[in-house]
Structure 1
Amino acid sequence: MELRNYEVLSGEEIDIVLHKKSSGDILKGWSPEYKFQILLQGTDTVIGYINLRLGDSEKVINYIGHIGYGIDEQYRGSKFAAKACNIIREIIKDHSMKKVIITCNPDNYASRKICETIGATFIEIVDIPETSDAYSTNETQKCRYEWIIQ
């Protein structure tokens, strides 16, 4: 899958800026990926990140998801992660993806709320195999959400 260049993408209250691209490693199950910084709109203030993984490897579909995000603690509570998801929706469409999987830990209620806010549908909770590099003592299960892109 070809990775593209993206200029600053703007949405409600935030901008996302391409920080890094990775072509992945098929042998290790790593997908091509975009890593974006989330900034307060019109500033250089980085408040978090959002990543978009391309492709449908078992690891992406079941454990780590197509989208990962994090907001710095002092900026949480303003739905910035949901707003960033809505901005990268255009990049998802640009890659002809019709749906994406988002995963989070079952006890991460804030992330689960983000999934609900953007309209993703809860699918299930899965156990992460101990043999997977997605497994750790803090991450033994994942909630899986499906987000249909229209």
Structure 2
Amino acid sequence: MIELVLERITPADPAAGRAMTEHYAIVETVSGQSVGTIRLRLSDTDDIRLYAGHVGYRVNEAYRGNHYAQQACMLLKARALEHGFSELWITCDPDNWPSRRTCERIGARLVEIIDLPEELDMYQDGERQKCRYLWQLD
């Protein structure tokens, strides 16, 4: 079992194209150990829907294979609903099979794999495509 612990809220920075974001630690309830992070972007821009996604997660390598990302997404769903979301977009690299399986396990649907525009920071960092998953919350 896990719980989400709010670590911080970063404010929106429209000039940099960044949305207000809630950042959570994914914590094992028994051990109290932080096993990863998950964040919820609280905006619904084209860049978020197409490239960044509303939800981003990372599980520390030693804790992978325990479905912590899936559990964290399910816990984050309540927060998203409180913020008025009825759907969330999750993006990942096409070769990130664990993340793709997480999306499938929570019931998100692969809509498409898109090429990233060259002007994006992600492209400059070497990423070329993103899988776009739509997660209907209701």
TM-score exceeds 0.5: yes
Q: Contact 1:37–1:49 at 8 Å: present in 2 too?
A: yes
Question: 2:20 pairs with 29, 32, 36, which one?
Answer: 32
Structure-1 separation of matches of 2:14 and 2:115: 23
Give me the whole-angstrom Cα distance separating, in 2, the residues matched to 1:41 and 1:138: 36
Query: How many angstroms does 1:137 deviate by?
Result: 4.5
Pair 1:98 & 2:95 matched: no
Quote the residue 2:113 is aligned against. Answer: 125
Identity rate, percent:
38
The whole-number CA distance in structure 2 between the counterparts of 1:16 and 1:86 is 10
Separation in 2 of the partners of 1:137 and 1:67? 20
Q: CA deviation at 1:44?
A: 2.9
CA contact (8 A) 1:38 1:46 kept: yes
Asked whether the 8 Å contact 1:29–1:57 carries over to 2, the reply is: no
Letter of the aligned partner of 2:68 in structure 1?
F
Q: How does 1:45-64 map to 2 (within 5 A)?
A: 45-64=33-52
Q: Which residue of 2 aligns with 1:108?
A: 96
SS at match of 1:116: helix
How many residues in Structure 1 have an aligned counterpart in Structure 2? 138
1:48 is matched by which residue type in structure 2?
G
> What does residue 84 of structure 1 align with?
72
Let me know the Cα RMSD of the aligned residues. 1.1
SS in 2 for 1:107: coil
Q: What residue identity is the alignment partner of 1:77?
A: G
SS at match of 2:75: helix
Is the helix fraction higher in 1 or 2? 2
**AA of the residue aligned to 1:55:** S
Structure 1 position 43, deviation (Å): 3.6
Deviations 1:97-116 (A, max 9, x none): 01000000000000000000
Aligned position for 1:6: none
Query: Which ranges of structure 2 fall in alignment gaps of 5 or more residues?
Result: none
Superposition deviation, residue 20 in structure 1: 1.0
- TM-score, normalization: structure 1? 0.88
- Segments of 5+ residues of structure 1 without an aligned counterpart are 1-12
User: Aligned-pair distance for 1:23?
Assistant: 1.5
Counterpart position of 1:71: 59
